[in-house]
Chains A and B, each alone.
Chain A
Amino acid sequence: MTSPHLLWLLAGVGTILVLASVIGEILRARLSPAGQNPVIENLNARINAWWVMVICLALAFIAGKPGVVLLFALCSFAALREFLTLTTHNRADHWSLVACFFLILPLQYAFLATDWYGMYSIFIPVYAFLLLPVVSSLRGSTKDFLIRVSETQWALMICVYCASHVPALLYLQIPGFEGRNVILIAYLIFVVQLSDVMQYVWGKLIGRTKVAPTLSPSKTWEGLVGGTLTATAVGTALYWMTPFSPLEAASMCILITLMGFFGGLVMSAIKRDRGIKDWGHLIAGHGGFLDRLDSVIFAAPIFFHVTRWVWSTT
């Protein structure tokens, strides 16, 4: 499933990471030789984690469809484990939680791997939505019932349903783009994550005005505008590897970077409410899987459906 365009994109990302690592080491040597500056240390931890994430993604791309589906199934598992750690549930929900992890999650990705669009696009919003509360109600506990089932459903929608729309891009059929769908995944993740990174960089450099001070102290208007415009400019310049024209690519980039930003905002609101800073601790410097994936999770279903409506024959 490797195409020359994918190799170029990976080579480009590799170059960016080499540059970032060099800059990170120079900053460390100048400002934090004994590891005393937490911002520099966090920056270097983030860059190192990026290397690991990019290598995992590249390996999955090389392994083809099964590799990509498996990688995102594992990401969904880790994300769901983080999300359900913070939701309201009691002993009566034990079996519905077990079902989320060991029945619904594997089934969703199995439907995806067999290209059963009619099923994977409604399985969680219809079947899981109606049947999971039944499992919880059978144990007879009514305390916080609506809160418990709603939060569980929300966790499934975010961590499994929305996240699974990233590998779903592999199954679109776009005339003239056959065999290159993996580019759509690489492009989506690259543009959205670049927007995240550039929002962070612009925000650190010139950020003054906070977008939503009660939700997130680190999101500024300067960062938002600078980050989305930079990512959109780069994404537009890469239109030749996508099925889009330059104008279409620019519109898609604005759409997915804004969705990515909204994803970060919504997930920050949840974290703030639960009194935590990060969803987890497994990705050094970044926090948890959800901290890194929140923007992609919000952008993926919209990117998938718009691409499907306009360009795909399925």
Chain B
Amino acid sequence: MIPALRVFAGRVTGLAISTFARFMTAPRAIWQGIEPVPHQRVYFANHSSNGDFVLLWTTLPSPLRRQTRPVAALDYWLTSPLRAFIGREVFNAVLIDRRPEARTEDPVAQMVAALDQGSSLILFPEGQRNSSDAPLLPFKSGLYHLAKARPGVDLVPVWIANLNRVMPKGEVIPVPLICTLTFGSPLHLEPDETKEAFLERATQALLALRAPA
């Protein structure tokens, strides 16, 4: 395909996807701890549905949305041409390989490279969809390594409420219900903070957003 046409098709598909997401969930963004201004950020959120990053991306104001790239699993998004088109052309995802034995690139290095190009990121530190009864799965260490490599970047917790009821795992047709996205105060790695302490603090910061103000 001609590059300009690919970009155009990506834009149109993106608009269609976010319109559909709005129709189904009328998403409401609550900017509780931070303003929606174009600073470089890593938005980290709970992951209960495949629609999570679509919804987060949809609720960002368009100047922020254009500079924000979701971090997504290559082993999921490159399994079909349609998924690959959506992942690359629509969302401009940073595709990382979750399988340590198979990968050729270091995920943290890929994310840092994207930050160095000026992008903001959407990251799900649980690393997989949470279909358990616990509110969050234990965080993977990627968030810590990112905080250490680029300490100036704001790490913004975002709690996505209700999306797991819109589209429970295993269901095909979503139910229209209102979803709320609560953006908390940004975190940074403290000097001398250990990996465990930082990940615990990030987990608590995210959990604290569960009850909307």
Contacts and interface: CB of A to CB of B under 8 A. Distances in A.
B177 A94 contact: no
Given A280-B26, A281-B28, A282-B26, A81 B177 contact: yes
Contacts of A78: 26
Counting contact residues on chain A (CB < 8 A from B), the size range is: 10 to 19
A137 B18 CA distance: 34
Given A85-B162, A91-B168, A94-B168, A101 B176 contact: yes
Contacts of B26: 78, 81, 280-282
B173 interface: yes
B178 interface: yes
Nearest to B30: A281
A282 B29 CA distance: 12
A222 interface: no
A97 B165 CA distance: 11
A101 B174 CA distance: 10
Interface in B1-46: 26, 28
B70 to A, nearest CB: 25
Given A81-B26, A85-B162, A102-B173, A280 B178 contact: yes
Contacts of B168: 91, 94
Given A94-B168, A281-B28, A282-B26, A77 B176 contact: yes
A127 to B, nearest CB: 20
Main secondary structure of the interface of A (DSSP, over half): helix
A84 interface: yes
Interface in A267-314: 280-282
Interface in A58-90: 77-78, 80-82, 84-85, 89
A98 B177 contact: no
B175 interface: yes
A85 B173 contact: no
Interface in A99-152: 101-102
A97 B162 CA distance: 15
A282 B168 CA distance: 25
Interface in B165-187: 165, 168, 171, 173, 175-178
A234 to B, nearest CB: 34
Given A85-B162, A94-B168, A101 B28 contact: no
A52 B167 CA distance: 32
Contacts of A82: 178
B183 to A, nearest CB: 15
A97 B171 CA distance: 12
Chain A CB within 10 Å — which of B28, B162, B168, B176 has the most?
A: B176
Contacts of A91: 168
Nearest to A98: B173
Nearest to B178: A85
Nearest to B170: A91
Interface of B: 26, 28, 162, 165, 168, 171, 173, 175-178
11 contacts: A77-B176, A78-B26, A81-B177, A84-B175, A85-B178, A91-B168, A94-B168, A97-B175, A98-B175, A280-B28, A281-B26
Closest 6 pairs (CB-CB, A-B): A97-B175, A85-B178, A81-B176, A85-B177, A281-B28, A98-B173
Given A84-B177, A281-B26, 19 more contacts: A78-B26, A80-B176, A81-B177, A82-B178, A84-B176, A85-B162, A85-B177, A85-B178, A89-B165, A94-B168, A94-B171, A94-B175, A97-B175, A98-B173, A98-B175, A101-B176, A280-B26, A280-B178, A281-B28
